[in-house]
Amino acid sequence: MSELIHTVHSPAEISTGAAKLRQVIAEAEISPNEVIIKFDSWAKSLDARELDDLPGIPFLRMWLRRGTLEPIIARELGPNGLHGSWTEYGRAECKAFPLGVVGHWPAGNVEIQPILSMTCALLGGNAALVRIPSGLVDLTQLVMERLVQSDPGERLTRRIFMAAFEHGRQDLQEAMAQVVDGAMIWGGKEAVLQIRALPFPHWARVAVFGPRISVAAMDAGAWSSPDEQKSWCQRMARDVWQFDQQACSSPQVLYLERGAGQSTVQFLSNLQHAFETENQAHPRRTIAAGLTSAISQARASWLLNDATHQAVFPMGPDWTLLLGSGSDLPQPIQGKTLTVLEVDDLMDAVSKWDGNVQTLGLGMADAEKERKLALLAGKKGVDRIVKLGRMHVFVPPWDGVDLIRPMVRMVRHVCSRD
Amino acid sequence: MQPFEDKIDRLLSKLPYDQPPEERQAGLLEILKEELDYACQRHAGYKNYIRHWPRDYRSAAQVADLPFLPVGILKANPPLSLVDRDEIKRTLTSSATTSQVPSRVVLDSPTARRMTKGVVTIVRDFIGPARRPYLVVDTPSFLGGGSELGARGAAIQGLQPFASEVTHCLSPSDQGDLLLDRNRLREFARDRQDAEVLVYGFTFILWNHFVKPLAAEGICLNLPKARILHSGGWKRLQDQAVEKTVFNEQLARVFGCSPDRIIDFYGMVESVGVIYPDCSAGNKHGPVFGDVIVRNPLTLEPVVAGEHGIVQVCSVLPTSFPGHLLLTEDMAQVLAYDGCPCGRRGISFRFAGRVPKAELRGCGNLESKRLPMN
């Protein structure tokens, strides 16, 4: 492993790394525009055939583009935020300043999340101290090597310290928490609670992106449309495939609103075909044995517990469609296991949610119904309502919060002269 | 009486490990297909599951193509049953060490009879047919007299056909602990220095409540012809950092016998009548009335020799619940599909721990250890 990712053994290595980062921040500011120039070049360097098969790389390329990031900067940091200038608000002016060193605790199961989380802090002018989960070291290393090539003057890379250590090393987790001014925490319930309990400085700002699930829904006008059915099914399959259905934005359930006299048979056949096609294009290369067991268990209990239930699946654990009806939110299985439920009224399903649903992916022909559904979903705790096929598009607000602004200080200056 | 019942009895009367694998496959396949037909007639949900299996079992050419159930499905309560309530003679419950919910399997008279016969057939191949004094390293209360029987009780009871007399050397304290009854133990050991004796205990009970206290006092029972069988898994001993070799050496020292007289066997209540003792080469084998398939987690196809995978146990013995083809929550390595140095035919394999439980991840910082698959 090169110096890009440090295999850390002692708390002192973390505090030394953080001290160097602090020194770099003190020496020179960096504007979001300068960061974007580097990112844009980085995105181009990731456009390489040997990287195409790596999970999340196409997604990362799109995220790092100027066209993606400029509007986000403008919305979160103000119209002059791009160049790090003051923006006038009446008699006052505001400017974003970095918090300092931002610590990142990314999820271990979303391959590019260490990078994504880090970019949010860098765009705010911060330095980034990133814990790399052990399973993601190799991929992160590959991606970071491309950043090094795009940043010969080390304007950005000097602001990054990546630390690889085991999740259970409480001493190293604590050392990391003690030296940061802000934290971005991505995790399941247990992990989030554990990391939030670390000894952060009292001034540190903490942004938590906790465990959520996501759901898809379609009205009869959309799923029954002969012209669009295949396209909707492809979109659905892509949303399921990305991140092996383990991201918080991955759909676990698809609700199909019944239409008078319309059968879902053709739609489900197209959905099966879309899953088969996606599986051929992007087959799994590894799987945790526990996930295979969970998938086998889900298939069996679905079909055994109710003889009216149906399912489609291949011999292996590649993908599973569990078919039934009802508006209750079933237990998510993950591992490309989608429960498809026919429901009389989508509003019934949404009205039962309790804040655990992050993203609602929609395929709706009826615009008025979609507005009503979005309003109800918002009330029921959903933070993102997007078109099917775009459930993972990483655009803030994410989980209901901005991505860059939480890690900057918006300084307000009111001129002392009248 | 179902037509397959005669066929099962014929298999049970054979030597358990003598059949060539191809011959065994053909015999099992025929009976298992009939049992699947029967189970589908008896349980609408099971029929629904089988109907959706990607391969039609009626045209299956090998046991590995038949539809299997994940063993977790047997945690259902009321238990999955293929017989009427009044035909149920006993319910077996698992020890539920890795989850709080035990498996529950129902036995009717024919299944219970085959369970006993299956265990006897297998054990006889390892220790011979003679009856001998049987020392149970557990309490008599564990057998119970009710309609439910746990995994420990089932294992103790399964060996009783080899007993000429039975002695239990543990008793429960008022606080619910297990106490070693030294007087009873001394009495059992007295005058038996030259006799064959049979000993059974759950692995962690043998270690914690028998070996540890006796070894600490330097006691040797001087029973060189003891045959010691134990089961129940190694997890609790691994937690205490006790390796199998250390366990065997210490246990043998307490009995005053050779470590090769100790047999570790794997059994699960869900796979009634089939246990998997270690052979002299340290491997496990499937009997003629059952088989073991080790499946690649990535494809669920059988692995090639040398590879690890998820264990599926197959048995023609149960007809009171759908336990013929069960995907377990254990991992194993296949050593060979035939030709174990011990002379037993068919697959030889070794267990390699539990399948790590999958946790639901929502951008969770729960690092998955993924098995590299070829």
| Structural domain includes residue B328 | yes
Compute the distance between CA of residue A27 and CA of residue A154 in angstroms, rounded to an integer.
13
Same domain, A131 and A270: no
| Structural domain includes residue B218 | yes
Per-residue pLDDT, A399: 84
Reading the block at residue B39, the tokens are 């189970």
Number of domains within chain B: 2
Task: Identify residues of B whose CB sits under 8 angstroms from chain A CBs.
Answer: 44-49, 52, 54-55, 68-70, 72-73, 80, 297-301, 309-310, 327, 329, 331, 355-373
Find the CATH number of the domain harbouring A22: 3.40.605.10
C-beta atoms surrounding A273 within 10 Å: 14
Per-residue pLDDT, A190: 85
Provide the sign of the torsion angle of the four alpha carbons A190, A192, A195, A199, taken in this order. negative
Task: Enumerate the residues of chain B whose CB falls inside 8 A of the CB of residue A289.
Answer: 297, 309-310, 331, 355-356, 371
pLDDT, greater one: B372 or B229: B229
Which residues partner with B351 through β-bridges?
B332
Nearest to B299 among A301, A310, A316 (CB): A316
- Give residue A301's Cα distance to chain centre: 30
The percentage of chain B sitting over the pLDDT mark of 70, rounded to a whole number, equals: 92
Task: Enumerate the residues of chain A whose CB falls inside 8 A of the CB of residue B52.
Answer: 299, 303, 310-313
Per-residue pLDDT band at B42 (split at 50, 70, 90):
very high
- Average pLDDT for residues B34-63, to the nearest whole number? 96
Same domain, A192 and A314: no
Same domain, A293 and A383: yes
Same domain, A248 and A152: no
Per-residue pLDDT band at B134 (split at 50, 70, 90):
very high
Q: Which amino acid is at A10?
A: S
Find the CATH number of the domain harbouring A311: 3.40.309.10
Provide the 8-state DSSP code for B211: I
Per-residue pLDDT, B141: 73
Q: What is the CA radius of gyration of chain B?
A: 21
Nearest to A211 by CA among A224, A233, A194, A198: A194
Task: Enumerate the residues of chain B whose CB falls inside 8 A of the CB of residue A403.
Answer: none
Same domain, A137 and A262: no
Find the CATH number of the domain harbouring B40: 2.30.38.10
DSSP string, A175-213: HHHHT-SEEEEE--HHHHHHHHTS---TT-EEEEE---E
Rounded to the nearest angstrom, the minimum Cα separation between A312 and chain B is 7
Give the number of residues written for chain A: 418
**Residue B203: domain span:** 115-266
pLDDT digits (tens, 9 = 90+) for B165-222: 999 999 988 887 889 999 999 999 998 988 999 999 999 999 999 999 999 999 999 9
Same domain, B162 and B259: yes
Same domain, B291 and B226: no
Evaluate whether B14 touches B288 at the Cβ level (below 8 Å): yes
Same domain, B51 and B144: no
| Structural domain includes residue A392 | no
Cβ contact (<8 Å) for A288 and B369? yes
Nearest to A107 by CA among A133, A79, A144, A70: A133
Which own/partner pairs from A56-63 qualify as long-range (CB within 8 Å, at least 24 positions apart)?
Answer: A56/A110, A56/A111, A56/A112, A56/A242, A56/A243, A57/A112, A57/A143, A59/A112, A59/A242, A59/A392, A59/A394, A60/A112, A60/A115, A60/A116, A60/A143, A63/A116, A63/A119, A63/A394
Task: Enumerate the residues of chain A whose CB falls inside 8 A of the CB of residue B359.
Answer: 188, 290
Of B266, B299, B320, the domain-final residue = B266
Same domain, A86 and A125: yes
pLDDT digits (tens, 9 = 90+) for B56-115: 999 999 999 999 999 999 998 889 999 999 999 989 888 765 557 888 999 999 999 999
Minimum mean pLDDT among B24-33, B139-148, B262-271: which range? B139-148
Same domain, B217 and B294: no
Closest residue, chain A, to B367 (C-alpha) = A108
Rounded to the nearest angstrom, the minimum Cα separation between B183 and chain A is 47
| Structural domain includes residue B36 | yes
Nearest to A239 by CA among A265, A218, A262: A218
Whole-structure pTM value: 0.86
ipTM: 0.90
Same domain, A12 and A156: yes
Per-residue pLDDT, B146: 62
Nearest 5°: CA angle at B201, between B149 and B190? Answer: 125
Reading the block at residue A120, the tokens are 């949010």
Task: Enumerate the residues of chain B whose CB falls inside 8 A of the CB of residue A210.
Answer: 362
Evaluate whether B198 touches B163 at the Cβ level (below 8 Å): yes
Same domain, B256 and B293: no
| Structural domain includes residue A393 | no
Per-residue pLDDT band at B287 (split at 50, 70, 90):
very high
Same domain, B71 and B140: no
| Structural domain includes residue B210 | yes
Same domain, B41 and B71: yes
Compute the distance between CA of residue A376 and CA of residue A370 in angstroms, rounded to an integer.
10
Nearest to A315 among B48, B55, B297 (CB): B55
**Residue A308: domain span:** 213-387
Minimum mean pLDDT among A71-85, B230-244, B302-316, B352-366: which range? B352-366
Compute the distance between CA of residue A85 and CA of residue A416 in angstroms, rounded to an integer.
19
What letters, b where the CB count within 10 A reaches 16 and e where it falls short, cover A247-268? bbbbbbbbbbbbeeeeebeebb
Same domain, B70 and B142: no
Rounded to the nearest angstrom, the minimum Cα separation between B242 and chain A is 23
DSSP-based three-state secondary structure for B166: strand
Number of domains within chain A: 2
Same domain, B192 and B253: yes
For chain A, report the end-to-end CA distance as a whole number of angstroms: 59
Same domain, B148 and B239: yes
| Structural domain includes residue B37 | yes
Per-residue pLDDT, B236: 79
Per-residue pLDDT, B360: 55
| Structural domain includes residue A394 | no
Compute the distance between CA of residue A242 and CA of residue A284 in angstroms, rounded to an integer.
11
Compute the distance between CA of residue A349 and CA of residue A326 in angstroms, rounded to an integer.
8
Find the CATH number of the domain harbouring B137: 3.40.50
Per-residue pLDDT, A2: 46
| Structural domain includes residue B90 | no
Per-residue pLDDT, B98: 52
What letters, b where the CB count within 10 A reaches 16 and e where it falls short, cover B338-360? eebeeebbbbbbbbeebbbebbb
| Contacting residues for A140 by C-beta, under 8 A, at least 6 apart | A5, A114, A115, A132, A162
Same domain, A114 and A186: yes
Per-residue pLDDT, B148: 64
Compute the distance between CA of residue B203 and CA of residue A12 in angstroms, rounded to an integer.
44
Same domain, B211 and B286: no
Per-residue pLDDT, B366: 29
Same domain, A379 and A245: yes
Name the stretches of chain A with pLDDT < 50.
1-2
Compute the distance between CA of residue B332 and CA of residue B293 in angstroms, rounded to an integer.
10
Cβ contact (<8 Å) for B365 and A213? no
Report the helix count and the strand count for chain A, using DSSP H and E.
14, 16
Same domain, B209 and B318: no
